[in-house]
A and B are shown apart, each in its own frame.
Chain A
Amino acid sequence: MTDALCRDCGAVAVAAPICPSCDGVRIVRHAELFQLHIAHVDCDAFYASVEKRDRPELASKPVIVGGGTRGVVSASCYIARLSGVRSAMPMFQALKACPDAVVIAPDFPKYTAASRQIRALMEKLTPLVQPLSIDEAVLDLSGTAALHGAPPAAVLARFARAVEADVGVTISIGLAPNRLLAKIAAGRDKPRGFAVIGAAEARSLLAPEPVRLLPGIGPALAKKLSALGVTSLGHLQALSDKDALRRLGDDGPAWVHRARGEDSRRVDPARETKSISAETTFASDLAQRAELERALWPLAEKLARRLRQKSFCTSGVVLKLKTANFVQRTRATKLPGPSVLPDALFAAATALLAKEIDGTAFRLIGIGANGLLPLDQADHADLADPDTPRRVATQTAIDQLRGKFGTAAIMRGRGWR
């Protein structure tokens, strides 16, 4: 008999299409339903949902969260998505597609708070929670059935209801035997979904799907694969390891295994993504070095502030640029020594920037930390830079003034315009 679960009341072994206990119709059925324990949880249109929660009058309106007319869409609600609005789409394009959308500037502290609330609920289910981003996490619920008195599927349905009730946003859950399949499942029934992929069906279910379904296969790789006659996951599945190695290169066998739905990655709570960065999209494209540097300075300050807030310093810097044609360039360099000083981060990034100035117009610039270290390792005296202690003292004074009177209270000459 196929196992079944009513997602609205938690009743199990429901045979009818309508739940006899609560008249709900959201019933999930699957042969492996009560054996699976890896769950991928993804919040639905997270930023937009949080905004709608706080402004109920927007509930039936298309909502886009993002910055300025030349910014990009950070998130869009499902109503806006009906008009073709997508995340990371330039704002002008989004507004062309959906002219009556309500655009809201992002309020990150608010989203972070909601995210923390959801994470706290997850951690009640299992210690094995690995956050993947602000609105995504993967959970391993193996061995928790005795504790909760219910199989993972039932615990997760209960969790989804708790998130809706306590946090006020909806989530989609993918339940599967491994992380890859769980992620794919989570994307199959959005929003407010609960999708299951079992081990037995994984291969046949994936076979007709395009290769782009696999996380990690982007447009470039898909094009390369297509040139080799590989367009569906079924094509990949059919390759032997040897063929894959010969035709697709070193990573070939790994792609074949993933196309078959195999994935041995564990859920590791310690492996939270640790990257800190700051970026901005320009109001109009920039190609001049001086203009780009002017845009870069406040980002260096922001990066330094974010690092300090999280008690990190960095041993290297990444410069990110996106050309007017949306081609991304990232360049990395090591700092002379670990630092959290904005001018040190800025100096390293401008050295990288200088090499990219070739007349190309850029629409975005960003700076990120590469190689996070504990804050106490930052900015030690250096024989080649005897002024480091003085620069640290200056920056500390600036930070204190800003702490009291706000960011605009004091700024460096180069930040002035």
Chain B
Amino acid sequence: MKLKADRAAFLKALAHVQSVVERRNTIPILANVMLAVRDSKLTLTATDMEIAVLEDVPASASRNGACTAPAATLYEIVRKLPDGAEVELDHPGGDAQLALRAGRYATSLVVLPTEDFPSMSAGSLPHKFSIPAQELRGLIDRTRFAISTEETRYYLNGIYIHATEADGIKVLRAVATDGHRLARVELPLPEGAGSIPGVIVPRKTVNELRKLLDEASGDVGVALSDTRIQLHVGPVTLTSKLIDGTFPEYERVIPRDNDKILRVGKKDFSDAVARVAAISSERSRPVKLSLAKDLLVLSASSPEQGTATEELDGDRVSYSAGPLEIGFQARYLNDITDQVGDQVEFLFSDGAAPTVVRDAADTSALYVLMPMRV
């Protein structure tokens, strides 16, 4: 294998693939990236056995071949090369070292045999559709904060994606919950997604995909089966296993009859939450919302530090139902308001029942929050 590549293009691809490599690895070859040249084209691959990322890099290749080299080391080296450098890679084959040269810099890296590099086969992926990158970004941002990290209910460790109907309109729906909050986001159903199975996309895959989407524009190609999902984002192909489990029947926990409606400016609200919550360093302490006609009082207290309150009145708050007191974790409130536009809408039932939160101007996303005792 022999080739020359532009440092910037090579670095960008390395950054993508090395990000799936686990820092602590018991299987040495999983710390490596595979570099393969075939038909004058360079392809980088990295995997953690759950996710595989594959990326084509523009290069001028003079000899076919393949080897695997330590991903983190290679990335660090290329990152430190000067801007505009041309990187030359040369691997004669077998277990010889990989030579990397750039200008007057030269290094030799120990390689591991490509035969040992695990290949993750996607199998057949019968369902194919595409989503604009921007919409996929919105779908992830508005759900991933609610993904659970608990091990016992592993089927909550991802975003549940499925096709369904909402008010007679076909939609692609994404749901995530950790038991304390739930996020549900809908997109118009893309063509070809009508008969997809419900799948749970693991948290790490979601996060890797989200990173790739930062730079992406245009459409993202999605292909999936019951057990695998494959995403094509520009030059990158990300293949991932899906979580083998049953997502809970989330529809049953979404309240239908909450009729006490609060509308409040998002910025006024989230700033006030942040200010009153600052009294306590304990993250799980609740912020109390006390409601009366067109008046919202936020308060928090800490036995060690004291108390704090802030009032939002008729100019900024609209509420016409009876008095109500309810508490929520400050971080949970902010995770939701971070995803909302100008006006946030709360639909309460009582101080102990799940509350619905949404963007007053956008019905595509809906959030449910469990109250805390205050």
Contact = CB atoms under 8 A, between A and B. Distances in A.
A384 interface: yes
A215 interface: no
Contacts of A360: none
A351 B152 contact: yes
A382 B370 contact: yes
Interface in B148-200: 148, 150-153, 156, 177-182
Contacts of B70: none
A89 interface: no
Contact of A333 (B151, B177, B368): B151
Interface in A365-392: 380-386
Given A383-B253, A385-B248, A347 B152 contact: yes
B180 to A, nearest CB: 7
A337 B152 CA distance: 11
A383 B182 contact: yes
Nearest to B249: A386
B202 interface: no
Contacts of A333: 151-152
Contacts of A380: 370
Given A335-B152, A348-B152, A383 B177 contact: yes
Contact of B156 (A334, A335, A381, A384): A384
Given A381-B370, A383-B250, A337 B151 contact: no
A336 interface: yes
B248 A386 contact: yes
A382 B152 contact: no
Interface residues of A, number: 15
Given A336-B179, A337-B179, A384 B248 contact: yes
A130 B182 CA distance: 46
A339 to B, nearest CB: 11
B286 interface: no
B252 interface: yes
Given A336-B179, A337-B179, A381-B370, A386 B150 contact: no
B93 to A, nearest CB: 39
Interface in B233-252: 248-250, 252
Given A383-B370, A386-B249, A336 B153 contact: yes
B253 A351 contact: no
A112 B191 CA distance: 70
A382 B249 contact: no
A103 B333 CA distance: 61
Contacts of B156: 384
B354 interface: yes
A384 B152 contact: no
Contacts of B252: 386
Given A336-B179, A337-B179, A383 B354 contact: yes
Contacts of A381: 354, 370
Given A333-B151, A333-B152, A384 B249 contact: no
Given A383-B180, A384-B177, A384-B250, 18 more contacts: A335-B152, A336-B150, A336-B153, A336-B179, A337-B179, A351-B151, A351-B152, A380-B370, A382-B370, A383-B177, A383-B250, A383-B354, A383-B368, A384-B153, A384-B178, A384-B253, A386-B252, A386-B253
27 contacts: A333-B151, A333-B152, A334-B152, A335-B152, A336-B150, A336-B153, A336-B179, A337-B179, A348-B152, A351-B151, A381-B354, A381-B370, A382-B180, A382-B370, A383-B179, A383-B180, A383-B181, A383-B182, A384-B156, A384-B177, A384-B182, A384-B250, A384-B253, A385-B179, A386-B248, A386-B249, A386-B252
